[in-house]
Every structure is written in C-alpha cells, then in structure tokens.
Structure 1
C-alpha cells in the first residue's frame, strides 16, 4: 500500500476540514498516512491516531520508515517547492480555493504546480475549469460530510447556547468573506431571534458584530459540533459574492444538511444547484426569508439528509483513491 505524506499545513485538531477528513479515510482504507502536524511541540514525537495514521509532531515524516510508493499530498500552493525534500513517486495538489482576494498570494505558485503535480483534485467547478484547461490529470471532487457524525442523535443542549428564542446559526471561519453588512441588517430586523456564530477568527482581529441578540462562541471541538448544529433552527452561509468565493464549495452546507436543518445562504455559484436550499443576496429579503422559514413547515428535511448521505467523505475518498491508483499505474507503465 502507498504512503501518503501531508506537509505541515493546518493543525490536525483545528477546524477539522477537507485534509483531515480525506486523509483519515485514506488511512482507514489501508494507506499509511504521515500527517506532519502544525504547531510548537515541547516534546517532538509521533502521535498515533490509528495503526495507519500517524501525526508527526515536530519531526519530519521522512524520519519514519514507510513503504513506497510515496505520495506527497499538497493543499498549500507554496509547498510545491518542497518536493525535493520528500522525493515522492506521485505529487498531488488538492485545490480548495480560488487564488484570488484573500488567497491571491497563491497564484505565483500555479505555474510550478501545473508543471510538477502528477494529479490535481478540485473542490469546485470554477477551480476545475481553470486546471482542466491546463493539465491532463484533473478531477472534480467537491467537499463532503461525515454523515454519521452529524446526522441526528439525542444531543443535550450545550450550556453556552442562548435560550428563549429561535437560533439562527453559523459554523465556520469567522472571516472577511462573510457578508457582515448583510448579517447586520438581518440581525437588527430580527430582535426576536438569536444569532449564534461558531468558529475561529481568520484574518480578523476581533468578532465584527455587537448586538444583544448575537453570540460568538468561538471555535468548538469537532466532536462537540453536532450538538450545536442540532439546536440551530436555520444554518447560515452568508458569503460575499467575490472572485474568491465563486470557487467556494462550503463544507458547512453538507454538515447542516446532515444535521437536518434548513439552510439560508447567498447565491454562490456552488450553491445554485443544491436541492432544497434557500438563497438571497438582498439584505432585507434575506431577513424576510429567515422569518418565512421559521414560520412555515419544513417538508424537505428527509431530502436534505439524503443529499448529505450521498455526499459522504467516504464516497469522496473512494473516488480519489481510484484516480490515485490509476495514475500510479500509468506512471509505472511509462517508466
């Protein structure tokens, strides 16, 4: 079985995202995964998540004996320049954001990625459109969800959630691409609702909103997250429509759907084809749609959950592994 190495990019336990989900599934299917954890470790060493998934904390994955072929899995564009340090048999770039606006610094690395990556995965259609015109081995694999983790169980209400009013919730990065002006209008026009925000600050020094019915609860452990989502009446995806967000395939969409809650977002390209979603970009109509959803009956919960189930990370990982093995075989046959 191959060994997949992930250079230091994001801490394993910080906002459990696409890399952790996919690499966890790869390891569960028998691939050896060496995840170089990001952080300052007083005692460098190896933390074993499972027999096939090791966190390299303060040490290089190259110091750990492992079988070949060796696959280098990249999500940070600048890491394409680290190839010589790993001597990989296959280089994979997993493209998850447009190199625009907040991520404009990524673009200078794209020519090298196109030259040196053996295989490219893309999380959205716009990112796929860019790479598929420039590289022969590109696959569209959107984000997904750990359905079992988020689907309904009996969850106690977390003690830091506000009570007494319906909860309009947001889970994800507290970042500049959120439409804070739109939210400000919706919050002021709905004093009878509580607005709850969960997630880490990203490129912001402080939480941007201050209203009596707004509650910023900070970053929550991935294992605690479903207990919060199951007490949301509506989940929000209120992103600005920019060059960067046109390539955004929000993980929170799948997590909200797995939890069975209704979703209100802004009309991002990646959300336009999602069944049973609600989209508005006018702040006052957004505010009005919130009240409409709360007052009406929810007839599409089962369809939303079925959609989430069909988009589980396990399906994504299986599809990617097929492409990886095919590309490895192709490279071996060409030698």
Structure 2
C-alpha cells in the first residue's frame, strides 16, 4: 500500500514562517548529543528552524592537546552551523565551564543576545550560559536525563534552575509531560513525530542493502542506540526460541560492554547506518521491535522509532513502554508484550498474518496529522505567544499614579 493519501510538507507552514518574524532571528542550541551521532528529535526540529532563522548547534567540548581553547564551525545547511568547543585535556569541571563561558563571550562578539533564542537540551549548559539573557529561553526536555547511566550528580539541580528560568518548556512525550507539568506554567507535550516522505520510501523499496540482503529468512529488526535501555536478555531469548528468525540490530553500542551482547548466529549486528539508509533496511524487515527494558531510564521515553516503523508499513512489537501503549497499542496499531514468551508469540502472529490491509489503513489514518513540520509549526505558535507576552511592558506604579493625578487635574480644570 502506498503513502499517496497522506499529506506531506517539505517546509514549515506559511503561518509559522510569519510568526517567526516576531521571534528573535537566531537560535543557539545547547546539546549533549553530537549532530552526527544519531539523527533524531534535535536534528528534525532544528533543520526546520533553519529554514526561517540562523541556527547554531553547540555540542559538548572535544578534549585534545590544544593550549588555547577555540570553537570550530561546520556549516551543514545554508543557515545551520554545528559549533564544537575544543579544550585541553586534564581540566577540572570549574576550568571547563570557565573556558566555555569565555568561548561563549567570543561567540557573542558583535551579536546581541536579545536577538537569540536559547534552546536547551542539556541543563548542564547552564553552568556556562546562565550569565547571558537571551530574547527567549526554551527547554526542550526530550528525556529524563537524570535517570540515564552516568548522569552527572548536579543534573537534577541544574534542571530545576533551567525550568525555573525558561520562558517555555516542551516535553518529548506525554508521560514526561505528566511528570513535569506541575513545574512550569507554560509547558507543552510534543511526542515523537515522523518524516512521512522519508520513511514512506520503505513501502516502495525493491532491494535491500548488501549486508542485509544476504541474510535469508524472516527478519525482525531494530534500529537505534544500543545502550543501558536495550533489553539484552529479551533479544537473547527471542533468538534462542526461534533460531530460524534473524534478529537485525542497527545502531551504535554505547555505555554498555559490547562483550555482554548475545552472539547467537541468528543475531546480526550491522553497525551504525545513516538516516538516509534506514528506509532501505526497513524495507526488508518482516516485523520491527522496540525491545526496551522497563526501568528508570525508560520510564518517560517516547521512542521516535515507533511511528517511523509504522510509517514504513512494518508491524511493531514492543515492551510495555508507557508512550507506546498510549497511543499506539490503545489504537490497536502495535502489539505490547509483557514477557519473553509474549514477545515471541506477538512476532509469530504478525509473521503469519497475510492480510494487513485493514491494519495499514488504520495506521495511515492515525499518522495523517503526525509530522515534524506540524510539530515545529505548533512549537513556533507557542513560542510566538510567549515572546509577545514577555515583551509586554507594564508602566511603573509611580508613573501610573502620576498619570492618574494629571488626568484628575485636567478634569477639575475642564
């Protein structure tokens, strides 16, 4: 089934572009993620913002043998630059933040901070940026970072400061919104969206990449970061239970020991792939997986891959992640499994189901209004309202009293 019945857009709406005219003309993003690591929420949003403003994506520093700290700029789009601080090895936390603060001062030479939106993904950046007052401060809280492995001790207190100082807060899903909505008066949930045109290619793709095409038999796939959230034991159990199935795992291995990963002959680690390549791999899968453990690090996640899998026309089996249960299982679009046996059985059910037309029709209907373009446009609307309200100047009380007195005198003399 094609995707021709689904509306798509390559740019923000005209309304969003006109709204941007009343916002600061530049955006500086503070990110804990590398631009070239995995293409996800920050890249989707900021590439769209770069259509209508100058975007600077500031990564965490790279440490080397340099004696003098410096910034490098890499232009990725006409109005999008990736900025990387380069610092010396062996610095203390205090020295790192001091040097980053100095680099930020250099960045703002001949620039007006009031003409910038500060867009935070990491509260840690407050340590070297809190002395600057931007035109608008946004916290796009895409994850509960404090629950992740190796999270810094000071992260929670810094996030509290960031939320207190932000003009507006977005969350990466509804469960994260419910968890934080009491912390800010201007907070809005924006779950994962999709690029329909991109992932819709998987439905029409006729050939698979060579490293996957050579694998014969049913393919059960996952792409994403393989880290402490990934359920290694579940993957091992599925591979053990059905040695005739092929488990395709795409993505980098981080924060866990690669030696701990299961090495069954039917588990295939294909490594990292570019965002552009993903539809080609998806096209050859029979079922897609969201095999995350249920723990503190996954309690509030909203996996972007869920709607992307569906957009590609692939059945999805997931563990009981809250933001997958609602809305995807609630609308009977994915299958939730609560243990290893259920996970295997759910995959089996999808493999034997020959007629998926009705299911795919419901998928397309659900995804009709799901897109990063619409998400970005809605964010712009909220930001514009916030910025306008922030710019309202209230007349000081003494001035009001004086004005009222003058008016009374005029009335007496009239």
Q: TM-score, normalised by structure 1?
A: 0.91
When residues 64 and 55 of structure 1 are mapped into structure 2, their CA distance, relative to the original with a 3 A threshold, is: farther
Question: Quick one: which of 316, 325, 329 aligns to 2:384?
Answer: 325
Is 1:52 paired with 2:79? yes
RMSD: 2.4
Is 1:189 paired with 2:241? yes
Question: Any residues of structure 2 matched to 1:80-119 within 5 Å, and which?
Answer: 80-84=126-130, 86-98=132-144, 99-102=146-149, 105=152, 106-119=155-168
Say whether the 8 Å CA contact 1:196–1:214 is kept in structure 2.
Answer: yes
Any runs of at least 4 consecutive aligned residues in structure 1 with deviations exceeding 6 A, and if so which? none
| Runs of at least 5 residues in structure 2 that lack an aligned partner in the other structure | 1-20, 86-102, 395-414
Partner of 2:324: 271
Is 1:205 paired with 2:257? yes
Q: Greater helix share, 1 or 2?
A: 2
1:54 & 1:155 partners in 2: Cα distance? Answer: 36
2:164 & 2:124 partners in 1: Cα distance? Answer: 14
When residues 113 and 8 of structure 1 are mapped into structure 2, their CA distance, relative to the original with a 3 A threshold, is: closer
For residues 99-133 of structure 1, the C-alpha deviation after alignment (integer angstroms, 9 at most, x for no partner) is 32537543232321232111110112232123221
Say whether the 8 Å CA contact 1:72–1:86 is kept in structure 2.
Answer: no
Say whether the 8 Å CA contact 1:257–1:307 is kept in structure 2.
Answer: no
Identify which range, 311-320 or 239-248, moves more after superposition.
239-248
Say whether the 8 Å CA contact 1:255–1:308 is kept in structure 2.
Answer: no
Identify which range, 123-132 or 267-276, moves more after superposition.
123-132
Say whether the 8 Å CA contact 1:120–1:137 is kept in structure 2.
Answer: yes
Is 1:156 paired with 2:207? yes
Give, in angstroms, the shift of residue 243 of structure 1: 2.8
1:315 & 1:231 partners in 2: Cα distance? Answer: 29
1:315 & 1:215 partners in 2: Cα distance? Answer: 36
Give, in angstroms, the shift of residue 308 of structure 1: 3.5
Give, in angstroms, the shift of residue 293 of structure 1: 1.0
Identify which range, 316-325 or 143-152, moves more after superposition.
143-152
When residues 242 and 57 of structure 1 are mapped into structure 2, their CA distance, relative to the original with a 3 A threshold, is: closer
For residues 119-152 of structure 1, the C-alpha deviation after alignment (integer angstroms, 9 at most, x for no partner) is 1101122321232212111011111111111112
Please state whether the residue corresponding to 2:169 is helix, strand or coil: strand
1:34 & 1:56 partners in 2: Cα distance? Answer: 7
2:271 & 2:110 partners in 1: Cα distance? Answer: 36
Q: TM-score, normalised by structure 2?
A: 0.75
Say whether the 8 Å CA contact 2:137–2:166 is kept in structure 1.
Answer: yes
Partner of 1:32: 54
When residues 54 and 154 of structure 1 are mapped into structure 2, their CA distance, relative to the original with a 3 A threshold, is: same
For residues 187-208 of structure 1, the C-alpha deviation after alignment (integer angstroms, 9 at most, x for no partner) is 1111111001011112113161
Aligned residues: 334
Say whether the 8 Å CA contact 2:30–2:119 is kept in structure 1.
Answer: yes
